[in-house]
Structure 1
Amino acid sequence: MATIIYTHTDEAPLLATYSFLPIIEAYAAKAGVDVETRDISLAGRILAQFPERLTEEQRVDDALTELGELALRPEANIIKLPNVSASIPQLKAAVKELQEQGYDLPDYPEHPQSDEDRAVRAKYDKVKGSAVNPVLREGNSDRRAPASVKAYAKAHPHRMGAWSGESTTNVATMGRDDFRSNEQSVVIESDDTLRIEHEAADGTVTVLKESVPVLAGEVVDATFMDVAALRRFLTEQIARAKAEDVLFSVHLKATMMKVSDPIIFGHVVQAFFPTLFEQYGEALAAAGISPNDGLGALLSAVQSLPEGDAIKAAVQQGLDDGPDMAMVDSDRGITNLHVPSDVIIDASMPAMIRTSGHMWGPDGEEHDTLAVIPDSSYAGVYQTVIDDCRAHGAFDPATMGSVPNVGLMAKAAEEYGSHDKTFEIPAAGVVRVVTSAGETLIEHTVQPGDIWRACQTKDEPIRDWVKLAVTRARASGAPAVFWLDEGRAHDANLIAKVNAYLPEHDTDGLTIEIMAPAEATAYSLERIRRGEDTISVTGNVLRDYNTDLFPILELGTSAKMLSVVPLMNGGGLFETGAGGSAPKHVQQLVKENYLRWDSLGEFFALVPSFEQLAQYADNRGAQVLADTLDQATGTFLENDKSPTRRVGGIDNRGSHFYLALYWAQELARQTEDPALAEVFRPLAERLAAEEETIVAELNAVQGSPADIGGYYRPDPQKAAEVMRPSATFNGALASL
């Protein structure tokens, strides 16, 4: 039997799985398609690290490692839902919940002292941040809005905030002494094992990373952020925000960039509250309270300190003295600096641009904002969009074009592969990247506290990326633009490779350009306003940014994108959209038994998954499933059966029912497989006849609290009961 692997992940996507997966399993089985699950949730990944501390019943398989091995094989067919890329506060919260559920897990060692502490810390470090994606992404990314979604967005445009030419919203970035400006890059001549070492001023050499295996043709970069310059910059921007009477906000990616960005975030906290840390910095450090964990963790932890009340007063004084801060939740007093994972750049910046360039202030109203993005690598992209909106007004979703993306990410390409090669420098000196023969490839002079990092991009993924860009340009007819800056060391090496590999492909009649990111943004925006499409061909970080920025402006969300990863060894990874808003959805479900998560991403991912399986396993039924699901999704959009935002309308569970109804109807009327049509005809008739009853049963549970037995690891039985409340619908599915 042909097999699809469907991943159990976290938060709202996981809850939606309890409702949607039984539908998939029931329908697929009738076409000879087996659907298996693998748990790659944060809780599952944590438990897999500590089998020796768990009972036999509690142990879980290391599903992520298993799927990483599968991704290297041609039969791989994995549907990957959004997962938590855990910041340290999230990791600690998950561990605490699991401990309360009876799992004998050690606490996260903030400051490891013993070998045992260091071993525990190393295990936890494996699961925090972007632990999942680099393992599974053994191919490059093809991400675009399905035609049905784009048509729906044009027919039913989402609301866009108006822009004023007088807007004082802007981006602030360093432009010097940052990761972009300090970058050095080399192309490796032959297979080797590199070493990263730090030589202090007194000549003491410390090996930071003993072994960095590299292949011929691989691009290796290293850079650092000058922390003294960062602190000066932050102090200037805090003063600027106050002088310009705009909100102060910082936009980082403390989840994916799990080593460097929490450190930067901690410096922002310290810069915003200088008096607090001058007076109480030593007491906070002695108590193990790190600014890197955010203001929320600090305020919670100081309650047990003798100086707790004074520290809280100093925080309030800092808020009073500084500029107004952008808020995550003004009603609850949750600021931009409360939790490092609350404000994630790729979601927060498009949301701000969509909302007239505003963020929410402490008064609960919208205001112009100074968006602080310390590293200048891609800050210009957002400034360009802001300038365009200031000059030309908001975009019109009813007429605007699209910016699909081809992203370089295979084999942990670019910055996301840098976590194990990122270091906070302990002492003044020099950091070097050296070959096994002792030759220095890269060298930086650093000071204590500087953030140094290296990353790798293998040659094979770059070749595949160029090929995928040409393939998509040929298939779509749209221009393809490589967003590469010849003034940046890494990009200069990629430009040379792109120019070398493009002639290997037929590009006659295609428009293929290379532009620096800000220039590429302006070019794409000009075309968007004319209703024209432009493929952005980007590296890994810009892939992440662009696949949120443009879909949020075009569609109102990035969760409705088709995301296909053609694996380089022949299999397929099918990703299902963005999970940035998933925590708020869970909160709403627990409060009022209403889940507004939209599973369109899952619907879209299933279609190419079935198609690939049909081709690989020569399974005609799988192709029929793909074709009919595609048609059913079109009907679903036409009839507007996505979840509404508030209690009273259909939520995620109701949307799944309608997808099941339309899919059964398409299967019943298709002629490619008459036997399959006969199987689904009774179900289609039954669901249609019982529509009113089923919707009433699904909606009847709304409005009261729901108990799912846990946030990071819900109780499976409780979650299933909450997410499958219609006995009539459950009975109809069981009849298959």
Structure 2
Amino acid sequence: MARIIYTKVDEAPQLAAASLLPIVERFAAEAGLEVETRDISLAGRILATFPERLTEEQRQSDDLAWLGDLVKTPEANVIKLPNISASVPQLKAAIQELQGQGYDLPDYPSDPQTPEEAKIAGRYDAIKGSAVNPVLREGNSDRRAPAAVKAFAQANPHRMGKWTADSKTRVATMGEDDFRSNEQSVTLAQAAILRIEHVAGETVTVLKDGLKMPEGTIVDATFMSVTALQAFYDKTIAEVAEEGTLFSLHMKATMMKVSDPIIFGHAVRAYLKPVFDAHGDTFREHGIDPNGGLGSLKTQVAELPNGDEINAQIDAALAKRPPLYMVNSDKGITNLHVPSDVIIDASMPAVIRAGGKGWGPDGEEADTTCVIPDSSYAGVYAESIDYFKDTGALDPATAGTVQNVGLMAQKAEEYGSHPTTFEIPDAGTVRVMDGETELMSHTVEAGDIWRMASTKKAPIENWVELAIERQAAEECRAIFWLDETRAHDRELLAYVRPMLDAKGVAGKFEIMAPIPATRASFEEIREGRTCISITGNVLRDYLTDLFPILEVGTSAKMLSVVKLMQGGGLFETGAGGSAPKHVQQLMEENHLRWDSLGEFCALGESLRFAGGDRARIMGRAVDDATEKLLANGKSPGRKVGDDDNRASHFHFALYWAQALAAQTKDADLAATFEPIAEELSAKADTILAELKAGAGQPVDLGGYYHGDAEKIAAVMRPSPTLNAIIG
């Protein structure tokens, strides 16, 4: 029997799956398809990492490794939901929860002091950040708004904030001595085994060895100066105070799990400079690390003998600083509380959509200085802000759409750099060696952040071919977002230009640096046209949030197809950045506002990919059901009393069954679903009443990161009538 793999993940998407998956399993079985789940959740990955410490009943298979092998085969058909890209605070919270459930897991050693602690830290570190996506993404990305979603957004435009020419909102970035300005890049003429060394005087320390790189790989190396970073923060804080805006730091401390928490920690230090000047030695002595954020810092400080006094000094220091952009004004959660709370690809579009406004500690909106230390792609957001100051907000009712073809296969570019990112311990030189040949080197100081990344030849060529395919399908403007002045991009262009020439399509593509490409793309969609952005990995991530959030209100409704290089298919279901707030609301009010539209879009593509007449019929019926759900306004509402995720799933099942019953290509399939559709329709009022029966009351899920399956099923499948019909 052919199969679809449906991933078990975290937070709101996983809770929604407890409601949706039984429907998918029941329907897909009629097409001869088995739907199998594999656990790539944070808790599941933690348990799979320490089997020797668990009982036989507690042990969990390494499903991520299993899926990593599967996606390298033509048989792969995976629906991948958004999972947590864990920051250290999230990792520690998940460990603590699992320990409380009886799992004999070691604590995470923030500062390993013994070889055993270092080994444990290394195993946990392999789970942090984007541990999942690089393993599964054995293909490049094709992301676009489905036609039904785009049409609905134009007919029902979401609210946009008003932009004014005198807005004080801006982007602050380093522009020098950062990753962008210090980048070096080479293309390997032959296969190599690279070594990274740190040289201090006569002492040579190998930071990483045995890095196998095939012929044609582009290898990049760069660093950020900690001295320049600290000076940038001090200067920017002073400017923000003078301008009267909010200070908002926008990072990716989840994906960039080594570099960005360090950069985040320096921001906390800078904001609390008087406190660190007075108590820095005490903090170091007790292992108190600002990289975990202001919330973690204050909790650790409270345990010191004079903790109350120091925390009072922290509060006093914050009061003298400019107001911070808030995650939750009501609860006093600031931008600097938790590094994973403000993720740049979601947070910057939110500010731009709101007319440049962010929430301040007084609960009011205000202009904000968006602090993005590294200048690699800060200019994209700066240009977006300048464009809307010039032109006013985008109108979703008339806007066209920006699609994306993204280079991400086989850990391409920065997201594959975690094992080769280092906080430098001493001044000296870091060099990349091929045997005795030095490929690149940087002079560094203690505390600098140095990293190396690589991009293999085969993914680059596949990326260009996918871009050619998409442009031919759309026959629209297509732009490679590549900067001639950037070292890495120059190496990429040495692949791109000859391939376009060889295919005879060079005239159908433009090559622009990201800043002019940003304005060109906005100008294109303001006229209602389609445009394709062809980008590297990080820009893929950023743009597939930026444009969808402005165009259709959210990136969770995007169609994301990964054409795996060995012939399989990976169908991603959108972003999960707002998932934590959704879970909180469910636990407090038994209302889940997570919208599974991304799952519906991925399901339709997955069914068509599975092949066979029935699977293709079912895929088309999914599209019909999705269009009807949107047209009838059956997406989840935000507040208790509205239809929520579970009611949306009921309507999806109803419309899917009706579409299958009405199709004429398979009479037996129609006959199977006709009574299901009739029963769902006849009992709709009863089902919806049962789904809403517990609305407004708190619920027990048995855990946040590792919930109890029976408790979750009881919460997410509360309608006996619906359950009996679906089975």
- Per-residue displacement from partner, 1:190-233 (whole Å, max 9, x unpaired)? 11100000001x21000000111101110000000011001001
Instruction: Name 1:353's counterpart in structure 2.
Output: 352
State the secondary structure of the residue aligned to 2:484: coil
Residue pairs, 1:7-18, within 5 angstroms: 7-18=7-18
- Per-residue displacement from partner, 1:10-57 (whole Å, max 9, x unpaired)? 000000000000000000011101100000000000000000000000
Alpha-carbon contact 1:137-1:412 (below 8 Å) kept: yes
Residue 381, structure 1, aligned to residue 374, structure 2: no
- The farther-off stretch of 714-723 and 627-636 is 627-636
Letter in 1 for 2:181: S
- Per-residue displacement from partner, 1:283-339 (whole Å, max 9, x unpaired)? 112111101000000111111101211211121121111111111111111111000
Shift of 1:506: 4.7
Shift of 1:523: 0.5
| Alpha-carbon distance in 1 for matches of 2:716, 2:590 | 9
Out of 445, 448, 452, the position equivalent to 1:447 is: 445
Residue 690, structure 1, aligned to residue 683, structure 2: yes
| Alpha-carbon distance in 2 for matches of 1:203, 1:727 | 74
| Alpha-carbon distance in 1 for matches of 2:633, 2:135 | 36
Instruction: Name 1:613's counterpart in structure 2.
Output: 610
Instruction: Name 1:599's counterpart in structure 2.
Output: 596
Residue pairs, 1:594-673, within 5 angstroms: 594-614=591-611, 619-673=612-666
Out of 655, 676, 699, the position equivalent to 2:692 is: 699
Instruction: Name 2:400's counterpart in structure 1.
Output: 401
State the secondary structure of the residue aligned to 2:530: coil
Out of 559, 565, 570, the position equivalent to 2:567 is: 570
Residue pairs, 1:223-234, within 5 angstroms: 223-234=222-233
Alpha-carbon contact 1:412-1:457 (below 8 Å) kept: yes
Instruction: Name 1:460's counterpart in structure 2.
Output: 458
Alpha-carbon contact 1:669-1:677 (below 8 Å) kept: yes
- The farther-off stretch of 671-680 and 153-162 is 671-680
- Per-residue displacement from partner, 1:61-116 (whole Å, max 9, x unpaired)? 00000000000000000000000000000000000000000000000011112221
Instruction: Name 2:97's counterpart in structure 1.
Output: 97
Alpha-carbon contact 1:467-1:505 (below 8 Å) kept: no
Residue 521, structure 1, aligned to residue 518, structure 2: yes
- Per-residue displacement from partner, 1:388-427 (whole Å, max 9, x unpaired)? 1111111100001111100000000000000000000000
Alpha-carbon contact 1:563-1:576 (below 8 Å) kept: yes
| Alpha-carbon distance in 1 for matches of 2:652, 2:676 | 13
| Alpha-carbon distance in 2 for matches of 1:704, 1:24 | 28
State the secondary structure of the residue aligned to 1:127: coil
Residue 420, structure 1, aligned to residue 419, structure 2: yes
Out of 462, 472, 479, the position equivalent to 2:470 is: 472
State the secondary structure of the residue aligned to 1:324: coil
Instruction: Name 2:533's counterpart in structure 1.
Output: 536
Instruction: Name 2:52's counterpart in structure 1.
Output: 52
Alpha-carbon contact 1:643-1:654 (below 8 Å) kept: yes
| Alpha-carbon distance in 2 for matches of 1:57, 1:101 | 13
Residue 184, structure 1, aligned to residue 184, structure 2: yes
* Contiguous gaps of at least 5 residues in structure 1: none
| Alpha-carbon distance in 1 for matches of 2:136, 2:614 | 27
| Alpha-carbon distance in 1 for matches of 2:35, 2:44 | 19
Residue 588, structure 1, aligned to residue 581, structure 2: no
Instruction: Name 2:712's counterpart in structure 1.
Output: 719
Alpha-carbon contact 1:484-1:491 (below 8 Å) kept: yes
| Alpha-carbon distance in 1 for matches of 2:45, 2:169 | 40
* Contiguous gaps of at least 5 residues in structure 2: none
Instruction: Name 2:114's counterpart in structure 1.
Output: 114
Shift of 1:147: 0.5
- Per-residue displacement from partner, 1:462-500 (whole Å, max 9, x unpaired)? 000000111111101111101011111001111111002
Alpha-carbon contact 1:303-1:309 (below 8 Å) kept: yes
State the secondary structure of the residue aligned to 2:223: strand
State the secondary structure of the residue aligned to 1:403: strand
Shift of 1:504: 3.4
- The farther-off stretch of 99-108 and 286-295 is 286-295
Instruction: Name 1:88's counterpart in structure 2.
Output: 88
State the secondary structure of the residue aligned to 1:43: helix
- Per-residue displacement from partner, 1:343-382 (whole Å, max 9, x unpaired)? 1000000000011101111100000011010000100100
| Alpha-carbon distance in 2 for matches of 1:610, 1:303 | 54
| Alpha-carbon distance in 2 for matches of 1:701, 1:506 | 62
| Alpha-carbon distance in 2 for matches of 1:271, 1:533 | 43
| Alpha-carbon distance in 2 for matches of 1:384, 1:37 | 42
- The farther-off stretch of 308-317 and 89-98 is 308-317
Residue 299, structure 1, aligned to residue 294, structure 2: no
Instruction: Name 1:136's counterpart in structure 2.
Output: 136
Shift of 1:694: 0.6
TM-score by length of 2: 0.99
Alpha-carbon contact 1:179-1:225 (below 8 Å) kept: yes
Alpha-carbon contact 1:559-1:577 (below 8 Å) kept: yes
Residue 310, structure 1, aligned to residue 309, structure 2: yes
Residue 39, structure 1, aligned to residue 36, structure 2: no
State the secondary structure of the residue aligned to 1:171: strand
Shift of 1:511: 2.7
Instruction: Name 1:556's counterpart in structure 2.
Output: 553
State the secondary structure of the residue aligned to 1:199: strand
| Alpha-carbon distance in 1 for matches of 2:493, 2:615 | 41
Alpha-carbon contact 1:418-1:454 (below 8 Å) kept: yes
| Alpha-carbon distance in 1 for matches of 2:308, 2:113 | 30
Percent identity over the alignment is 61
How many residue pairs get aligned? The number is 727
| Alpha-carbon distance in 1 for matches of 2:179, 2:317 | 29
Letter in 2 for 1:732: I
| Alpha-carbon distance in 1 for matches of 2:396, 2:232 | 36
State the secondary structure of the residue aligned to 1:44: helix
Instruction: Name 1:61's counterpart in structure 2.
Output: 61
| Alpha-carbon distance in 1 for matches of 2:70, 2:62 | 13
| Alpha-carbon distance in 2 for matches of 1:609, 1:547 | 20
Letter in 2 for 1:311: I
Give the RMSD, CA atoms, in angstroms.
Answer: 0.8
State the secondary structure of the residue aligned to 2:601: helix
Letter in 2 for 1:314: Q
| Alpha-carbon distance in 1 for matches of 2:64, 2:248 | 35
Instruction: Name 2:166's counterpart in structure 1.
Output: 166
Instruction: Name 1:320's counterpart in structure 2.
Output: 319
Letter in 1 for 2:607: F
| Alpha-carbon distance in 2 for matches of 1:287, 1:555 | 48
